[in-house]
Structure 1
Amino acid sequence: MTVFTVLLPSELRGKLCIFDNYAEIDAAVERNRFRRGCLIVGSPGIGKSTYLLYKLSLQLSQRKPTFYYSYPALRFFNDQGAFEVVGQVPDLFFHDDFQGVLALVDAEKRPNPPPEILWENSSQLSVVFTTSPKAERWRAWVKDRFPETVISKAPDFQEALTAWQLYRVADSHNRIIQGAVQNHLKLLQDAWTHFGPDLRLGLKIMVYGLAAYVEHRRTVELAANSLDFENLSKLLLDGASGTEVTQKLVRSVPDPSSPTILVNRIRSQTVMRIVAMSYRKKDLAQRRQLYSALSTSTHFSTSLGWLFESMAIDKLSRGNITVELTSLTEINHQPLALKLTDRMVEIFPKRTLGWKTSHSQTFYVPAEGNNATWDAFFYYKDGQKKIGVGLQMTVGRKHTLNSDGLNALDSRFEAAMVTEFYFVFVTPQDYSFKLPKVTNNQEKRWRFFQLGLDVTDLDPEGEMLARRFREFQEIDKEDLNIDEMDVD
């Protein structure tokens, strides 16, 4: 859609991207035009403010009177022109002529509730209020007017690309950057996958490239490290408790059982790993609390696969246990016992050189989640032998084995000069698991095992969690992308 208004950022050149979910939002707005109004809430950077401009454009094209508030100005549009409303005169909109007139309110510019003259008891206006999940912005208004809540969905990545391509971005010297989307396409995709939907982060990447990506990751790590368990629990259990910091960790979505109830989900598997690793530094009691919160909340937050992965990494890296590996390819083979010691966990970016991930006392976890083949690896000494052990933590009954991902792990093991190559599917205890199809060359190169691991001793509600693992029959983890774990 092409529009011309001073309310649009100049970088958009008068253009708006209309996302698919706007039709659903608009239906709710129209349904409540003569009733109680709408609260449109969702994570930052998913196009909520743009919806208001889209709706304003529709209103103007139909010559319908409309109010638009974006701090500090309240403007009024009708077929006579555009006007600014000055002052806060009580009972300004009490007349029946204002019934069905929309007041579009954008809370993103400043953390404030809508101006009271728009929603006081005498007002006949229908307020449409878009905001991030910060209840203090809307609590008073909702208490008085009981608006319908619409939880805005994020656009998909293709829609995001369309929106970004509308922007004309400039560098620090105000020089236009040509082909900014195409130049950073892979980085934009990585950011979307590893940190969740965020149009604003994409715009930063278009200007600053890798530096913006790295800085965002740093803020995510700081957010994870800054939260104590009490605040983290509140964040996970209360969908309206988000702050600018915590929204780096979670995204807000509708509860599947009640679509007008806001709940939080960890933004991605990558973020889940960062949260779990930040808790690895804490004592066992706090880690138990974390896993209990993740596993017992009816609203929460993470897939069962992510939860199992985090708990398995925690238990295996801390060592002081002997595990038994069951061969998936060798008939009548006795279980192989490995005595594990405490290893330091190192989270490494995918571009890390192979020789830098070769230390025998380190438990390596890739920084990027969504790795379809392996989640971690370590090295094990057996006399003169150095064994590379790749791990895929899964609650699925079977799992894909991507050749490119296995080759990337092979390259890291070669750089570490291992003599034997093990690949272990770590599953919940007493779990039937089927080896995915492997090639003859892979079977000659690798020994494939299953490790049934009891992680529920890390959770006070262990038996309930164990039952959930046993009953799980779906594909593991929400995002099964192919591996891109490059090794130089």
Structure 2
Amino acid sequence: MDPENTTMADAHDDEQYVLEASNPKSRSIFRHMPAAQERELNNANHSEWEWEDDFWTALVDNNPWVQLKNQWAQTPENEIPNVIKTPPRFKPTLSFLVRDSYKELFDRIWYRGFAHPRTGVLITGQPGIGKTTFLWYTLIRLLNRRQPVLFVRNWHLILFFHDGVFTTPRSNLGRACLPTPPADEADEGRCRAFIWTLLELDGAQGEPETSLLEDPCFPVQASSPNPKRYSKWVRVSNAAKWGLPLWDKVELMQGLELQQRLYQFQRNFEPYLPISPKNIPLERSARVAHGILLQRQNEDEPIAELKGAFSILVDDAIEEYGLAARDIYAAIFAPAELADDHKVVLHKACYEFLKLIVEQLWDETMAYPEAGDRIFCAYPSPETSTDSPRSLWLLNFKSTRIAKRVMEQLRACAQDRLEELYTAYRVVPGLSVLVGWFFEALAVRYLICGQLKNMDLAEMRRPSDGLDNAPTFKIDLPPSSKCRVSLPMARRSDCILELSEKFNRQTLPTGFRSRCFYIPDASNNPLFDALFVEESTDNTALHFVLWMFQATTGVDHKGLREGYSSAQKVMLALNKSAQAVSKVVRFEIRYVLIFPEDNKRTTASWHMPEGWTEKLQSLDHREKVYYLDIPIPVCALDPLAFLTLQLDFAAQS
């Protein structure tokens, strides 16, 4: 909040606003804030404003900008649709989905404008999330409420004021006077109203010009993370810094129907339904989509309808590229270009690149190294209060597949470098998911190298809660006693274990080597991160002990039921390997939950997913569950070393 303008009364009003903003019967959300209510009235009444319009050109009635204004100024607010389309001849041609998050964020901006008019709002976050689209939505909502708006898009200036629409070239900025609202003599002559100034300047190398940030402007800037475009004015004005959440699949499917490239894609793709290996499209994007569907479909039920095909394609794009709309639609309509773009950047995702990321996050710049958004996604925490002037930001890999690829490259790193990354990311707020990935890589490294052979296991107990099909295993920390089961550790070689959808038919291993440590290749391993097998024999039977490891940094871990299927696939492979010796096969599974050692932790839980008691006729995947915590050396973090690292990385690039 603005320290000069915020009072205890304002804080009360903030709470009152949260209660009333969604109430359509409330005539004004500011009725408990006289100054804000007066500004709201002055913004809607332009009769007392002054303006010398010598440098502005009025647009004629058939101009698309005038048509845009008239279209939405005449639409009742409760009839604004969830799909917005611009008038004919309007450039750019827009047709976009109104997400619920757009409506919520607009309400917050409306409130901040009138409650704290000398601040502003920055909308930032993941590229491709919809920040520019949201700015267009904000323009439409403001036109609907007949507000004065200056819309600046790549230095094309459009002013909506009173009943007209005006434009002026950038060269006139500073000379072209903006309309001036009445002054408040009791407040050092400052304006009693303002002009909403919407800024979309992603092509700019610097910050907006000062004349767009001062009275009578209330700036709302949409920008990808790049401090050069906003850091100074946001700091000086104490502007709010908010973001938009990632998309979900329902929104992505709705937005897909509005894409301009959809019609041509359907023409190229639909003739090749149902999906068959004998009928392959010629057009590039349709051919890529056909290959994805051929790989993912059930051979007994070929995909025959467009809706089902698009649902699978969106699922695959989410697994590959995450939840930013631009990436999802590019994955369908321009897959080769998107894949090449990400491939180039993924080659840079080395130790130096990851250290550079955390160094910049320490500076709270919310900026990536060049093209870092191909690897990471930044999004606001859902725990951010609606009346907070700052979003709490979280950072994660864009997708599980991208995370896996980065982790594969980090396997070549020395162990001390992995420990250094873990320590560095652990001290920055909002990086808990990334910390979990680095811990998983470390835990696997320790297991492969046999460094945990002196570590004792503690058995996790199952409370009598009656949840037989989805049990929870718990342990109080530190454990009161260790169990007799020890971790058989020796130095092993790491191997990739294929657990794809076609595992049973095409990629079933003929056997497991006891000296191998297996890391599943699946994009999402919902029950285990790694495994190895102990094998012994006697006169009548082969004995297999299957060790399945899950690494986590949280105290309350959950899995997904698909993990049971993966466990049974592994047991089936072991069973097959024993057929040649004509012996009975006996299995024992030991699930091990691995944590980083933490003296503050008092309890840990592992919630097994639904399916614990299902499909047990031939292979029983139920067994005991153990807990293991491992100490990780704490690395000293030297800011000077970070700076040197940054310079070295820049030189290499």
- 2:246 aligned with 1:246: no
| 107, 121, 126: which one aligns with 1:27 | 107
Distance apart, 1:216 and its partner CA: 7.0
State the match for 2:246 in structure 1: 154
Tell me whether 1:186 sits opposite 2:312 in the alignment.
Answer: yes
Specify the alignment match of 1:50 in structure 2: 133
Q: How many angstroms apart in 2 are the aligned matches of 1:343 and 1:279?
A: 16
- Aligned residue for 1:68, secondary structure, equals strand
Change (3 A) 1:321 1:42: closer
In the other structure, the counterpart of 2:329 is: 203
The one of 232, 243, 255 equivalent to 1:163 is 255
Between Structure 1 and Structure 2, how many residues are aligned?
Answer: 453
Deviation at 1:308, TM superposition (A): 4.4
> What's the counterpart of residue 364 of structure 1?
519
Cα offsets for 1:82-129 (capped at 9, x unmatched) = 535342432434551495222211134x243454164265x5222210
Query: Amino acid of the residue matched to residue 450 of structure 2?
Result: G
Can you list the C-alpha shifts for 1:288-323, whole angstroms capped at 9, x where unaligned?
A: 111112323344342775554343223223335436
CA contact (8 A) 1:239 1:252 kept: no
For 1:283-298, what aligned pairs fall within 5 Å after superposition? Answer: 283-298=414-429
Match of 2:291 in 1: none
Alpha carbons 1:70, 1:106 under 8 Å: kept = yes
Distance of 2:166 and 2:393 partners within structure 1: 38
| 1:140-167 Cα distance to aligned partner (Å, 9 max, x none) | 4335544322233334332232222222
2:396 aligned partner: 266
For residues 207 and 253 of structure 2, the distance between their equivalents in structure 1, rounded to whole angstroms, comes to 32
1:221 to 318, 342, 346: 346
Q: Deviations over 1:408-443 (max 9, x none)?
A: 332244346455463423233797667848328279
CA distance in 2, matches of 1:422, 1:105: 59
1:232 corresponds to which residue? 357
In the alignment, does 2:92 pair up with 1:92?
no
Q: Secondary structure at the match of 2:623?
A: strand
Deviation sequence 1:231-274 (CA, Å, 0-9, x none): 03224433522245222333323465766055341136725444
Tell me, yes or no, if the aligned pair for 1:225 and 1:278 is still in contact at 8 Å: yes
- Segment drifting more, 266-275 vs 435-444: 435-444
Partners in 1 of 2:361 and 2:170 — Cα distance?
41
Aligned to 2:500: 350
Between stretches 27-36 and 425-434, larger displacement belongs to 425-434
Q: Which residue of 1 aligns with 2:531?
A: 377
Distance in 1 of aligned mates of 2:341 and 2:570? 27
Deviates most, 391-400 or 246-255: 391-400
TM-score w.r.t. the length of structure 1 is: 0.76
Distance 1:435 1:66 in 2: 53
Contact 2:452 2:487 in 1 (8 A): no
Question: 1: distance between equivalents of 2:102 and 2:309?
Answer: 29
Provide the C-alpha distance between the structure 1 equivalents of 2:624 and 2:618, rounded to a whole number of angstroms: 12
Change over 3 Å in CA distance of 1:175–1:348 after alignment to 2: same
CA distance in 1, matches of 2:354, 2:562: 38
Instruction: Decide whether aligned partners of structure 1 residues 341 and 188 sit closer, same or farther in structure 2, where only a CA change above 3 A counts.
Output: same
Q: Distance in 2 between matches of 1:368 and 1:357?
A: 23
Per-residue CA distance 1:428-466 (angstroms, 9 max, x = gap): 3797667848328279634634443333224449xxxxx
Matched, 1:426 2:593: yes
Query: Match for residue 4 of structure 1?
Result: 86
- 2:97 is paired with a residue whose SS is coil
Q: Which deviates more from structure 2 when the two are superposed, residues 224-233 or residues 354-363?
A: 354-363
Q: Is the 8 A contact 1:93 1:117 kept in 2?
A: no
| Identical columns (%) | 19
Separation in 1 of the partners of 2:210 and 2:559?
A: 60
Amino acid at match of 2:315: Q
Q: Secondary structure of 1:377's partner?
A: strand
AA paired with 1:426? Answer: L
CA gap 1:340/1:174 in 2 versus in 1, 3 angstroms: same
**Equivalence for 2:152:** 69
**Residue 15 of structure 1: how far off its partner (Å):** 2.8
Which residue type is aligned with residue 21 of structure 1? Answer: S
Q: Against the structure 1 CA distance between its residues 397 and 267, is the aligned structure 2 distance closer, same or farther, given a 3 Å change threshold?
A: closer
- For residues 167 and 180 of structure 1, the distance between their equivalents in structure 2, rounded to whole angstroms, comes to 15
Q: Which moved more, 1:435-444 or 1:270-279?
A: 435-444
Extract unaligned runs of 5+ from structure 2: 1-80, 182-190, 271-304, 463-481, 578-584, 637-653
420-429 or 172-181, which deviates more: 172-181
For the 8 Å contact 2:200–2:222, the answer to whether it is kept is yes
- Indicate conservation of the 8 Å contact 1:75/1:85, yes or no: no
Query: 2:40: which partner in 1?
Result: none
The AA in structure 2 aligned to 1:167 is Q
Q: Is the 8 A contact 1:252 1:265 kept in 2?
A: yes
